[in-house]
Structure 1
Amino acid sequence: MRAALLQANSGIDPLLGARTLVEAVERAAGEGADMLFTPEMSAVLDRDRARAAGTIVAEDQDVALAAVREAAAKHGLWVHLGSLAVRGAAADGRYANRAFVIDDTGAIRARYDKIHLFDVDLPDGQSIRESAAYAPGGQAVAVDTPWGRLGLSVCYDLRFPDLFRALSDAGATMLAIPAAFTVPTGKAHWHVLMRARAIEAAAFVIAAAQTGTHADGRQTYGHSLVVDPWGEVLLDMGDAPGVALVEIDPARVAEARGRIPVIDHRRPIGAVTVAP
């Protein structure tokens, strides 16, 4: 599998975001990629929630989703659209942070709503409450592709290994972790957590990321990564926007799991006994 990653600097204009995504599909296809992976909030990244509300629509009205589906069909390319903000089914009106897997005919093969929401106060003074605008998903999702089973997640999910255990238990050999990581948390934790998830699951991690200073004023860490099942970093895109390609050999999953059969050795853990 030849994977392409888009490292983006998304802004507040959905039409510009859609154009950037289509250009990434065209470039990836032109360079012989089989599948393109894009970051969290691939089309619009806007922390001004009043302004962003005007750009968030139901998925059947989303211009970026429609444009990517059309481009995927035109160029015969699979796309993992890292996530879009869409109007969901939450009774309280909160949105969904939703990932999509689109096949080479433009059909949506899978959807995943981000389960773990980023509600934190950071050392640099940022206070982020993702749950104020977004409802959490309730279902882990994996999808079959021509190159293996792909487990889906979004950004902050990275910190919750039980999700990735469930995905690898379900047969995932690749894990998509699109992100818009903050700079402080990225510097501290990005590489070590990505490598840990790959090693624990003996699976490829493919993490397309946002980067740089955005139109809404926030800064993201970049460093889109591909990590192999042994924990080796095959691609690190640094901090510049762009598209990069990397070869993924599915045989490396079987090799890693043969050397240390962590999947076979897993055991259910019951209640913890606390010794007096």
Structure 2
Amino acid sequence: MTDLRVAAAQLTTGPDPVSNLAAATDAVRRAADGGAELVVLPEATLACFGTDLRSVAEPLDGPFATGLRKVAADLGIVVVAGLFEPSDDGRVHNTLLATGPGVEASYRKIHLYDAFGSRESDTVAPGNELVAFEYRDVTVGLATCYDLRFADQFTALGRLGAELIAVPASWGAGPGKEEQWDLLTRARAADAQAWVLACDQAYTTPQGTDPLGIGRSSLTTPLGHTAARLDHTVGILQATIDTEDVAGVRARVPLL
């Protein structure tokens, strides 16, 4: 079984990818200084929602992704972050990039945030494939924000063997949304019987229906208990996961 030191780097991004890359790089370096071997950044790290996403979208060999690869390689760790890449139909994909030593994976958000007055699908094309990768003998699954409302995705990731699921997010604020975030992160960990490391954008004052973040990044155990949580401000959650906990839960409660 494997211990892995992980971090959620909760930050606030704006519309400028260059500034956001600098902030993300600084956060990753600070997380690595605390011993993190895998660092998760929020959804929309490239540029916040409310930006003209088509104008800032970059391919996976563009400067933003290249910058993330460089800091991951320099530090010898894996970084997971949300960006936007052009889609063939004129929209963009809401994509997670996971990069680092021996790791290069990307996941396009499957479930788009067409809820609470938002219409993500107007500008974002959905993905259709589950993604997991191996890192230091840990199987890591990927999901994004609104995916948390779909239990079957997390059960499927558990069946793929995911022992840790990284969930970058830019969770929309509103009545009851903090409670829903807390509930869903815990429930999805129990569904997958896996650790869930959910990294949200720090709280940003709502602007229309754009999902900009509430904070509350968290690490949840395979039994659905909250192991660690940040408040609503910028910060870094540091913790260690043990895959033996996953194996133990799956042996005692064979849901999958």
Q: TM-score, normalised by structure 1?
A: 0.85
Residue 154 of structure 1, CA deviation: 0.7
Structure-1 residue corresponding to 2:190: 199
Q: What aligned pairs does 1:97-136 form with structure 2 within 5 A after superposition?
A: 97-104=94-101, 109-120=104-115, 122=116, 127-136=117-126
Structure-1 residue corresponding to 2:85: 86
In the alignment, the residues of structure 2 paired with residue 80 and residue 36 of structure 1 have an alpha-carbon distance, to the nearest angstrom, of 6
Distance change >3 Å, CA 103–CA 214, structure 1 → 2: farther
Match of 1:259 among 229, 252, 255: 252
Could you report, residue by residue, the CA deviation over 1:25-73 in whole angstroms, capped at 9, with x for unpaired residues?
2112212111101111112103143xx4332222222x32111110111
Residue 214 of structure 1, CA deviation: 6.2
Q: CA RMSD in A?
A: 1.8
Structure-2 residue corresponding to 1:176: 166
Distance change >3 Å, CA 22–CA 214, structure 1 → 2: farther
Structure number with greater Rg is: 1
In the alignment, the residues of structure 2 paired with residue 211 and residue 138 of structure 1 have an alpha-carbon distance, to the nearest angstrom, of 28
Structure-1 residue corresponding to 2:150: 160
The runs of 4+ residues in structure 1 deviating greater than 4 Å are 214-219
Matched, 1:96 2:93: yes
Gaps of 5+ in 2: none
Residue 118 of structure 1, CA deviation: 0.7
**SS, match of residue 221 in structure 1:** coil
Q: TM-score, normalised by structure 2?
A: 0.92
In the alignment, the residues of structure 2 paired with residue 199 and residue 211 of structure 1 have an alpha-carbon distance, to the nearest angstrom, of 25
Instruction: Answer yes or no: is the 8 Å Cα contact 1:181–1:220 preserved in 2.
Output: yes
Structure-2 residue corresponding to 1:10: 13
**SS, match of residue 125 in structure 2:** coil
In the alignment, the residues of structure 2 paired with residue 39 and residue 167 of structure 1 have an alpha-carbon distance, to the nearest angstrom, of 20
Match of 1:34 among 32, 37, 41: 37
In the alignment, the residues of structure 2 paired with residue 94 and residue 9 of structure 1 have an alpha-carbon distance, to the nearest angstrom, of 24
In the alignment, the residues of structure 2 paired with residue 256 and residue 113 of structure 1 have an alpha-carbon distance, to the nearest angstrom, of 29
Could you report, residue by residue, the CA deviation over 1:75-126 in whole angstroms, capped at 9, with x for unpaired residues?
1111112x101113x3x2111001111123xx65211100011112x3xxxx
Residue 220 of structure 1, CA deviation: 1.9
Structure-1 residue corresponding to 2:128: 138
Residue 147 of structure 1, CA deviation: 4.1
Could you report, residue by residue, the CA deviation over 1:196-246 in whole angstroms, capped at 9, with x for unpaired residues?
111122110010111222697754211001001111111111101122211
Instruction: Answer yes or no: is the 8 Å Cα contact 1:11–1:214 preserved in 2.
Output: no
Q: What is the identity percentage for the equivalent residue pairs of Structure 1 and Structure 2?
A: 33
Instruction: Answer yes or no: is the 8 Å Cα contact 1:9–1:214 preserved in 2.
Output: no
Equivalent residue pairs, number: 250
In the alignment, the residues of structure 1 paired with residue 187 and residue 138 of structure 2 have an alpha-carbon distance, to the nearest angstrom, of 20
In the alignment, the residues of structure 2 paired with residue 97 and residue 261 of structure 1 have an alpha-carbon distance, to the nearest angstrom, of 33
Structure-1 residue corresponding to 2:49: 46
In the alignment, the residues of structure 2 paired with residue 214 and residue 10 of structure 1 have an alpha-carbon distance, to the nearest angstrom, of 13
Gaps of 5+ in 1: 264-276
